Structure 1
Amino acid sequence: MAIFHLEFKIVKRSEGMSSCRKAAYHARCKITDDRTGNTYDFSHRSDLFHHQILAPASAPSHIIESSTALWNEVERVERQKDGQTARYFDVAIPCELSNEDKIKLVVDYCQKNFVDEGMIADIAFHDLDSQNPHAHVMLTLKPITAEGFGKKDRSWNDKKNVIKWRESWATFSNRYLAAAGSDARIDHRSIEIQHDEAIENATITLDTEEKALWIAKAALTSRPAMQRIPRAKWNSQTAQQQRAAEQAVRDEMKQEAVATYGVFKDLDLQIVVDLNSFTVSHLPEPVEIILTDTGSQSSSEAQKPILVAPVPHTRTKLKTTSASTPGAIKRAPVKSKREQVPLKKESIFKRFTVLVAEFFKERFIWAKKKKPAPVSVDAEHDKHIAENYVFDEVQGIYVSRSEHEKRVRFNSDNYKPSPAEIRRFPSRPKEEQHKADKALDYTPAPPPVSRRNRNHPSTKPSGFNKNR
């Protein structure tokens, strides 16, 4: 099963990652990080099939002799405590290839896209004999020369490179699949984009064979994308059920694509189309199709296509109203050979293609739902303002209708506050207020004490003389 999976990530110290640990995990070996002193041991895992390091010809041999030497050097030359040390990705390899071709495919891809640009690629192949063959690749972020690593090449971080690298993997894989005699192909684009492209091309193309291929592609891509399952959950029952269900949907779409292609590749005028259930079948006998000319000025009833009941032992005929005499119908047999087909047949096929495309758009999951007729935003806004707001000529702004009514009532001559509006300080009669003031028991303040006439005993000792 050839599937596309290629995902790029970065080893970042700011996230607590180490290129030595990542390399030890990929190569299923034991590596000690000289910078931190940590040792990472994954030698107990047994799914490593092959390991290989690719480097430019100018790379020093002592750096690329092993993953331990390579990534310890990378960690040593990176000075920033929160720096980035490596780029890595894992890629799914087509099962249709032999183990030798699987290794050669990944090596050729890495050599062309990364090593020739100055990077070092550390490649580890896992599970090549299983149903999930894949490779882990780690790439350096600094170009390598005979003197060692240089400064980081920032152009490698361009997002356009990711698209280019993904497309290149699809190209390499399809080339190897074709050489191996397999009909399987992969595409780096999403299922949604592929489906939209197939619908669009099926609508605009005029060649019957090409149209059938695009309609079959639309049927094949009318499914959700298969979800990636983490390695830790591969053997779980839930993951196996999920993958089995996704594979069943994919196989069903493949069968439907083959059947769709078989129907449309030899499509001619001798067909019956039931637009209610959209079933296409060949007629037991040819029929006559009356199709009005779109450029004529005949009545609306004459403009509608009419399907005449089949007559035994007759040829399929195309009947078109004449522009000069709308009431008259010229009958002419339709030629069986494509090079002799009149231009009107092309028009019929175009219209039928539009019906096919609309059917796929309505049926498939990626189709956009019909939107209701747009409502005038301005009309709705004006209605909302008229119902809930009133223009205040004094302030020159719109205020809520409830606030406006409150202000009008308050400013009227006969306004009296309601009991609900009198809550905190109700007014009292003046007589009660006067009695309440007299009833207060005030405590007189003590008279002020002067410095000369003190009414309290002095704290100075007797016989104290200030001038002494």
Structure 2
Amino acid sequence: MAIYHLHAKVISRATGRSAVAAAAYRAASRLHDLRLDRDHDFSNKSGVVHSEILLPDGAPERFLDRATLWNEVEAIEKRKDAQLAREVEFSIPREMTQAQGIALARDFVREQFVERGMVADLNVHWDIGEDGQAKPHAHVMLSTRRIEVRIGEAVHGRRDGIPHPERGGRGAYDLAPDPGPDGAERGRRSTQAHDPSADGNSGDAARHPAEALDAGEALAAAGRTARLIAAARLRHEGLGLAQDQPSIGFGAKERSWNDKDLLLTWRERWASLVNERLAELGPVRA
């Protein structure tokens, strides 16, 4: 009888975690963490039978390199409590061969994550359980921001030092049960999302600046904004960078990916795919 599970959790800097380290462990590889200036070496870990990065349409090919991908995520997340990635872990039926299990995992990841615009780092583990039988499962690390075209200093939802208007909103959900090191966060909404009042403004003022300022304050704010933009342009000129040089990278946080119903959809869809594929394979001989 097939046994399956699917859990989801957030990889957060608030709990002392690194996206680069998490990726290195799941891929059983050695990656250099630029933010921490150290290597994370898990190349001696056994049981990883498939490792692959799947990109949505429009994503830059440089993200096919695992170190480049997760170091860029680390670099553009500035907050000490930043949500770096979401991880989804799901079991693969023991009744399947490795090739069948990998194919099923890839189909699921493409359909439910990549087609929604996420970058997916898929690793299939074929460990041996305490009962001596195979314990196949997959880990998928997912980006939390959409791929966007960036102009000048527009990086990860910011341009010239001015916050992106979509920053803030709901934090990401975890799906219980979560047996991992982030177990304290399981089953509740994470609170690490940006709080509009964290910069010293009320939530309403942060969301509706034009309504919160009188004419004099609005002019002063406009002057500050102009100075920020001018300073950014000077930095570009000093570095010899083209002002409107486009690039492709991560943009703003995608709020729709944090919907709790979507996480439940992933769990139900995985169960459905497992049952469909097992039915196609026919009865398993004892």
Structure 1 segment 290-369 matched on structure 2, within 5 A = none
Are residues 1:154 and 2:153 paired? Answer: no
1:119–1:143: 8 Å Cα contact kept in structure 2? yes
CA RMSD of the aligned region, Å?
1.7
1:11–1:87: 8 Å Cα contact kept in structure 2? yes
- Aligned-pair identity in percent equals 42
2:11–2:87: 8 Å Cα contact kept in structure 1? yes
Aligned-partner SS, 1:10: strand
Amino acid at match of 1:31: L
Match of 1:115 in 2: 114
Higher relative strand content: 2
Superposed CA offset, 1:251-301 (max 9, x none): xxxxxxxxxxxxxxxxxxxxxxxxxxxxxxxxxxxxxxxxxxxxxxxxxxx
Match of 1:78 in 2: 77
Match of 2:274 in 1: 173
User: How far did 1:144 drift?
Assistant: 1.7
2:121–2:140: 8 Å Cα contact kept in structure 1? yes
2:89–2:138: 8 Å Cα contact kept in structure 1? yes
Of the two structures, which has the highest relative contact order with CA contacts closer than 8 Å and spacing of 6 or more? Answer: 2
User: How far did 1:38 drift?
Assistant: 2.7
Amino acid at match of 2:62: H
CA distance in 2, matches of 1:182, 1:57: 38
Q: How many residues align?
A: 183
CA distance in 1, matches of 2:92, 2:20: 25
CA distance in 1, matches of 2:142, 2:121: 7
CA distance in 2, matches of 1:44, 1:128: 14
Are residues 1:137 and 2:140 paired? Answer: yes
Query: Any stretches of 5+ residues in structure 2 without a counterpart?
Result: 150-247
Match of 1:2 in 2: 2
Superposed CA offset, 1:160-189 (max 9, x none): 1111110000011111101111379xxxxx
Amino acid at match of 1:165: W
Q: TM-score when scaled to structure 2?
A: 0.61
Match of 1:125 in 2: 124
User: How far did 1:128 drift?
Assistant: 6.5
Are residues 1:21 and 2:21 paired? Answer: yes
- Distance 1:183-1:49 versus aligned 2 partners, 3 A rule: closer
CA distance in 2, matches of 1:98, 1:183: 12
Match of 2:220 in 1: none
User: How far did 1:2 drift?
Assistant: 1.4
CA distance in 1, matches of 2:97, 2:89: 19
1:28–1:48: 8 Å Cα contact kept in structure 2? yes
User: How far did 1:34 drift?
Assistant: 0.6
Match of 2:55 in 1: 55
CA distance in 2, matches of 1:85, 1:176: 33
Superposed CA offset, 1:98-146 (max 9, x none): 2211011000101111100000110111116852011111001001245
Moved over 2 A (4+): none
2:146–2:253: 8 Å Cα contact kept in structure 1? yes
Amino acid at match of 2:79: Q
Amino acid at match of 2:142: L
Aligned-partner SS, 1:166: helix
Superposed CA offset, 1:208-230 (max 9, x none): xxxxxxxxxxxxxxxxxxxxxxx
User: How far did 1:158 drift?
Assistant: 1.1
CA distance in 2, matches of 1:44, 1:131: 19
Superposed CA offset, 1:312-363 (max 9, x none): xxxxxxxxxxxxxxxxxxxxxxxxxxxxxxxxxxxxxxxxxxxxxxxxxxxx
Query: Any stretches of 5+ residues in structure 1 without a counterpart?
Result: 185-468
Match of 1:42 in 2: 42
Aligned-partner SS, 1:136: strand
CA distance in 2, matches of 1:52, 1:169: 19
- Distance 1:49-1:5 versus aligned 2 partners, 3 A rule: same
CA distance in 1, matches of 2:81, 2:264: 27
Amino acid at match of 1:179: E
1:50–1:126: 8 Å Cα contact kept in structure 2? yes
Q: TM-score when scaled to structure 1?
A: 0.38
CA distance in 2, matches of 1:23, 1:30: 9
Structure 1 segment 456-467 matched on structure 2, within 5 A = none
Match of 1:221 in 2: none
Amino acid at match of 2:92: I
1:99–1:128: 8 Å Cα contact kept in structure 2? no
CA distance in 1, matches of 2:48, 2:84: 24
Structure 1 segment 39-438 matched on structure 2, within 5 A = 39-64=39-64, 66-127=65-126, 130-145=133-148, 147-182=248-283
Amino acid at match of 2:118: M
